[in-house]
Copies of this chain bind each other. A is one copy, B any other.
Amino acid sequence: MNSPVGHFADQLAAAVRRCGNPVLVGLDPRLAQLPDSLRPSDAKPSWSAQADAYEQFSRGVIDVVAPLVPAVKPQTAFFEQLGPHGMAALGSVVRYASEKGLLVILDGKRNDIGSTAQAYAEGFLGSGDKSGWGADALTVSPYLGDDSLSPFVEVAQQRGAGIFVLVKTSNPGGGAFQDLVADGRPIYRHVAEHVETLAADTAGDCGYGCVGAVVGATYPQQLDELRKAMPHTWFLIPGYGSQGGTAADVAGGFDADGLGAIVNSSRAIIFAHARPEYAERFGPSRWQEAVEAATRQMIEKLADQTPAGQLASSN
Contact = CB atoms under 8 A, between A and B. Distances in A.
A120 interface: yes
Contacts of A109: 110-112, 141, 144
A191 B180 CA distance: 11
Contacts of A91: 83-84
B166 A143 contact: yes
Contact of A120 (B81, B112, B123): B81
Copies of this chain, complex-wide, total 2
A110 B78 CA distance: 12
Contacts of A177: 142-143, 145, 187, 190-191
A172 B123 CA distance: 23
Contacts of A145: 169, 171, 173-178
A77 B86 CA distance: 17
A161 B142 CA distance: 26
Given A87-B84, A132-B86, A180 B183 contact: yes
A131 B166 CA distance: 28
Nearest to A90: B84
A248 interface: no
Interface in A121-140: 122-124, 131-134
A114 interface: yes
A15 interface: no
A119 B169 contact: no
A301 interface: no
A46 B141 CA distance: 29
A265 interface: no
Given A81-B132, A116-B75, A171 B144 contact: yes
A219 B133 CA distance: 35
Contacts of A113: 169-171, 174, 238
Contacts of A171: 113-114, 144-145, 147-148
Given A28-B116, A173-B146, A122 B182 contact: no
A64 interface: no
A7 to B, nearest CB: 24
List the 4 closest A-B pairs by CB distance, nearest first.
A83-B132, A147-B173, A81-B123, A145-B176
